[in-house]
């Protein structure tokens, strides 16, 4: 577990979190730009972070940039885009060996911080436009990534289902937007989006290593020079519950039908909801897996996930056409069992052990540790491992029953196999 966690404001809307954990031989820096999901900017933001992670004005080609990283003991610098609630998160991350492990005592943390700052503040651009060759390559890569997600029918079913579940909410957007939105991007429009990101995004920087003073100072000096007007960011944005369950069916050329059911809750007892989800469908010993999949053989897979930011619990399953209604009914029956307390003390204890194991695994990798504390920061609740375990341990059976009772069936989405899959 980390020896200490310290978060400080270093510029307007810019925060620096130091996570000291001596077990890591490598250091890890993440610079996260957090903005509200917006169709007008989602693909431009995604493309800009991909460009920033590939080159800068000092190393303007990907080849030169890669050679620089190789010279820095094979360090890694990468970009990523994701969403958290109704927010889009653009991340630049650097991973490199700790300073005390360099051969000649080089301050690699300073070198990597400077390289990150060059990427952020001095990208490969000219006359307020990104380099055209680099732009074209990263644009095509992003289109390829979006098409790959669509070709994965399990992921595509989630995208399609979300359009109904979260209609008229920013959450319907994927982190990278759509192929059409990316195709509309130009070197100038994406550069303008990048400048807007620097000016308006909330910035959360995390450093996992031993000494962060120089790193913090370098980032602080760089961001202090900007004229910023950071937007307000909220982690929780509960999705409104429909007055009646909405049923949607799309027939598509797939070999296996996908059933996606969304339940929504207005409960603020999020630890009880998360605990309930583990018993209900998030593990190989859950009610959905053991009953709907194993005992009744109604589906090829069946699991649930809880999105606390949106207050939604979703069940995803792969089924034959003839079993769609049976699987739907049985999933509802299993939730009724949760509401009625038809789960044992052993179910609770096994689920608690699974939760503790998941919480403990966070510390195994610097990247997951950084992401976990980032989420806790956005929730304004920076807890540690022991505090999280205690909060789950205090959840009673009645609270789990109440959490289950708070869930209302909002949407049933079916991606039905048009070519059969009836056996």
Q: Tell me the CATH number for domain 246-417.
A: 3.30.830.10
Strands (E), 37-123: 76-84, 87-97
Residue 422, classed as helix, strand or coil, is: coil
137 near 65, Cβ under 8 Å?
no
Written as six digits, the tokens of 127 are 């006359």
Any idea where the domains of the chain sit in the sequence? Answer: 4-224, 246-417
For 4-224, CATH number out of 3.30.1300.10, 3.40.50.150, 3.30.830.10, 2.40.30.10 equals 3.30.830.10
Structure confidence at residue 420 (pLDDT): 55
Calpha distance 376→235 (Å, rounded): 10
Structure confidence at residue 423 (pLDDT): 41
- What are the helix and strand counts (H, E) for the chain? 15, 11
Band (64; pLDDT cuts 50, 70, 90): very high
- The answer for residues whose C-beta is within 8 angstroms of residue 340's C-beta and 6 or more apart is 401
312 near 267, Cβ under 8 Å?
no
CA atoms within 13 Å, Cβ hemisphere of 226 = 25
The tens digit of pLDDT for each residue in 196-243 reads 999 999 999 999 987 788 999 999 999 999 999 999 999 999 999 999
Calpha distance 329→344 (Å, rounded): 22
Structure confidence at residue 211 (pLDDT): 74
For the residues 419-423, what does the mean pLDDT come to?
52
- The answer for residues whose C-beta is within 8 angstroms of residue 374's C-beta and 6 or more apart is 17, 30, 32, 204, 206
Other Cβ atoms closer than 10 A to 335: 24
Question: pTM here?
Answer: 0.95
The tens digit of pLDDT for each residue in 337-365 reads 999 999 999 999 999 999 999 999 998 89
Calpha distance 298→302 (Å, rounded): 9
The answer to whether the 4-224 and 246-417 domains have the same CATH topology is yes
What is the rounded average pLDDT for all residues in the chain? 95
Written as six digits, the tokens of 382 are 């920076």
Determine which helix (DSSP H) or strand (DSSP E) holds 278, and give its type and residue range. Answer: helix 270-280
Residue 131 has pLDDT above 50, yes or no: yes
Beginning with the edge strand found earlier in the chain, give each strand of the sheet holding 76-84 in spatial order.
4-11, 14-20, 202-209, 26-36, 87-97, 76-84
Other Cβ atoms closer than 10 A to 340: 11
For the residues 10-27, what does the mean pLDDT come to?
93
Residue 298 has pLDDT above 80, yes or no: yes
Residue 205, strand partner residues: 16, 31
Find tokens 């307390």 and name the residue. Answer: 341
């Amino acid at each position: 577990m980390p020896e200490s966690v310290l978060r400080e404001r270093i510029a307007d809307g810019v925060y620096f979190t130091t996570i000291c954990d001596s077990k890591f031989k490598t250091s890890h820096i993440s610079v996260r730009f957090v903005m509200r999901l917006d169709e007008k900017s989602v693909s431009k933001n995604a493309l800009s972070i991909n460009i920033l992670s590939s080159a800068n004005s000092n190393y303007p080609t990907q080849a030169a940039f890669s050679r620089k990283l190789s010279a820095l003991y094979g360090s890694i610098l990468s970009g990523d885009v994701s969403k958290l609630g109704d927010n889009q998160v653009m991340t630049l991350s650097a991973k490199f060996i700790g300073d005390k492990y360099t051969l000649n005592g080089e301050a690699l943390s300073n070198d990597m911080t400077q390289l990150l700052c060059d990427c952020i503040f001095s990208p490969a651009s000219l006359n307020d436009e990104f380099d055209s060759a680099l732009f074209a390559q990263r644009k095509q890569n992003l289109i390829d990534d979006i098409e790959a997600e669509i070709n994965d029918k399990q992921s595509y079913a989630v995208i399609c289902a979300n359009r109904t579940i979260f209609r008229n909410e920013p959450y319907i957007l994927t982190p990278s937007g759509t192929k059409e939105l990316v195709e509309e991007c130009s070197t100038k429009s994406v550069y303008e989006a990048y400048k807007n990101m620097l000016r308006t995004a909330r910035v959360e920087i995390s450093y996992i290593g031993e000494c962060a003073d120089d790193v913090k100072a370098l980032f602080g000096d760089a961001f202090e020079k900007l004229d910023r007007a950071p937007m307000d960011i909220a982690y929780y944005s509960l999705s409104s519950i429909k007055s009646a369950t909405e049923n949607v069916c799309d027939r598509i050329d797939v070999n296996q039908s996908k059933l996606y059911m969304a339940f929504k809750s207005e409960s603020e007892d999020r630890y009880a909801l998360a605990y309930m989800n583990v018993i209900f469908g998030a593990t190989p010993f859950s009610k959905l897996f053991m009953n709907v999949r194993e005992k009744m053989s109604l589906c090829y897979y069946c699991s649930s996930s809880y999105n606390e930011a949106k207050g939604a619990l979703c069940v995803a399953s792969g089924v034959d056409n003839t079993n769609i209604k049976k699987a739907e009914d049985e999933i509802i029956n299993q939730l009724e069992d949760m509401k009625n307390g038809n789960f044992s003390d052993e179910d609770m204890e096994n689920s608690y052990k699974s939760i503790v194991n998941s919480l403990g695994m966070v510390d195994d990798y610097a990247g997951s540790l950084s992401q976990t504390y980032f989420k806790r920061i956005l929730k304004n609740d920076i807890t540690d491992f022991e505090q999280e375990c205690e909060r789950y341990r205090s959840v009673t059976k009645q609270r789990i029953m109440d959490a289950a009772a708070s869930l209302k069936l909002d949407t049933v989405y079916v991606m039905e196999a048009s070519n059969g899959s009836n056996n």
